[in-house]
Structure 1
């Protein structure tokens, strides 16, 4: 941005965060909270009563997302990664999220009041797990920098600020709970549609081939849902749903089917006794093998072998 206004450059913050704290700090430098404690969500407030425009800049946090929630009407020009994201009037409840290591600049043309949340990677992962009952397959990034408006988040932010300025100071539990509620809502907005689409989709053929190759290579070993999901490059929740849509089988049913098919091959082509066939196909005992074999084939391994090799 070419301008004659003075620029306040703010160095990157490298520390992570942990839950705690009982107040919303006032920032002396834009997007740079003074509290050095490590917290899951750190909150700070940028408030200015301006007569002249003020320009500020931040080089980007190394590990933290910065969530900005506008608390009062203001006018500003905002740059994200050297591109003008917004230039004009901003209403209360406007939200902007900046991912780690992304530089931002702003020129405030009038009085402003912004609540900033500095969110650790661990907090984003925890919120994702809580929302979708499974861990993410990659780092959780809230990578849509566009301004948006959310009345629920606005009310949460205003309630937090009101409690801070009231006669009774709010405690750490309140601050943490509101901060986590805001982050959880942002994570839900970002990933709910993706999670639903992933849940509703069928497992692509190339992922299915990876799963089949992994299963066939490890049939003599214990294989869990997490192992099969990892071979497909998906979370357990995504994999279980997509796999069933693609095959009509639950992963556990498919695994048993492949074990029995391998057992049938060994019963016909090898001289292994029934117990050794069972162990080679991942069954913990001959009794367990016989029970599962009968369920799939309709006969015991011994009798089936006799019929299959007769003549």
Structure 2
């Protein structure tokens, strides 16, 4: 093998024009650049709680010689790595060889907490990484078994995930759009919760099904709707809504969809658009003013969501009122 470099941080280099299936170069603020291999980066603003997942992007540019990375395994999260392009990597976790050469686009690799690793990259590599904290999996475990886990959860040995449901959920996170803005976090939290629940379900049969008699009652739903209505000008997270309902995030998200036919994320978007229609009746407010007042990061994103729900742009809809 050619002489190789050992490093922990991303090396400098030039990316080639190979078979790139990466996400759009308009980077989402929810997907951080990972500077140290398999070390979770920190958002500039604190996460809503310790159950929130972290998204990062790890990229290796073209190198003249193979480059090696090592991780000490200090992370307490389960880590999912989604390959954005074909590459060539030798990868070991806890001394076990996980990848021997070719890595295909869309491959989903999952590793557990506290697992030291080593990798040798021979070609350009581009991936999205998801860090699933223990608190998230503990919540999913309690939702599945009706009790919290009695120790830290370790779902499996390092492996490439074959389950299509997990892969589709992961891809939903990979395609987080830059203009999701204030609505992005509730979307990410909801998908992260679904991934955690699916992984727990795959880990073992549900031996102690949870008592589902406590649903989203009419009064709980009313409190949630009132809370949403009063906070449309601010970002709204899944944990906030679950707390208002007095339920776990997992239980709340499932029950909310059963009752309303929509996910919390979809419902909040529709409420913002309904409020926007009211504000559009006032000629004193511009479309940009309304987008900002309803926590949309950009006017373009507001217009896209409005058109998707209403069927025409805010400007077209306002003209029809005249």
Task: Tell me the TM-score normalised to structure 1 length.
Answer: 0.52
Residue 101 of structure 1 deviates from its aligned partner by: 2.1
Residue 79 of structure 2 is matched in structure 1 by 66
The superposition leaves residues 249-276 of structure 1 with CA deviations (integer Å, 9 ceiling, x where unpaired) of xxxxxxxxxxxxxxxxxxxxxxxxxxxx
Unpaired segments ≥5 residues, structure 2: 10-27, 210-322
Residue 27 of structure 1 is matched in structure 2 by 34
- Residues 78, 113 of structure 2: 8 Å contact kept: yes
* CA distance 1:70–1:184, shift in 2 (3 Å): farther
Residue 115 of structure 1 is matched in structure 2 by 128
Residue 206 of structure 1 is matched in structure 2 by none
**Given the alignment, which residue of 87, 98, 109 partners 1:96?**
109
The superposition leaves residues 214-236 of structure 1 with CA deviations (integer Å, 9 ceiling, x where unpaired) of xxxxxxxxxxxxxxxxxxxxxxx
- Residues 85, 126 of structure 2: 8 Å contact kept: yes
**Given the alignment, which residue of 53, 57, 61 partners 1:49?**
61
Residue 177 of structure 1 is matched in structure 2 by 190
Q: Which is richer in helix?
A: 1
SS of 1:177 mapped into structure 2:
helix
Q: Are 2:154 and 1:150 equivalent residues in the alignment?
A: no
SS of 1:63 mapped into structure 2:
coil
Q: Partners in 1 of 2:83 and 2:196 — Cα distance?
A: 15
Residue 51 of structure 1 deviates from its aligned partner by: 4.1
Q: Partners in 2 of 1:130 and 1:93 — Cα distance?
A: 29
- Residues 132, 192 of structure 2: 8 Å contact kept: no
- Residues 91, 98 of structure 2: 8 Å contact kept: yes
Residue 78 of structure 1 is matched in structure 2 by 91
SS of 1:101 mapped into structure 2:
coil
SS of 2:175 mapped into structure 1:
helix
Task: Tell me the TM-score normalised to structure 2 length.
Answer: 0.50
Residue 71 of structure 1 deviates from its aligned partner by: 2.9
Q: Partners in 2 of 1:70 and 1:153 — Cα distance?
A: 14
- Residues 25, 44 of structure 1: 8 Å contact kept: yes
Larger Rg: 1
Q: Are 2:163 and 1:164 equivalent residues in the alignment?
A: no
Residue 139 of structure 1 is matched in structure 2 by 152
* CA distance 1:98–1:164, shift in 2 (3 Å): same
Residue 7 of structure 1 deviates from its aligned partner by: 1.4
TM-align CA RMSD? 2.8
Q: How does 1:189-228 map to 2 (within 5 A)?
A: 189-192=202-205, 195=206
SS of 1:76 mapped into structure 2:
strand
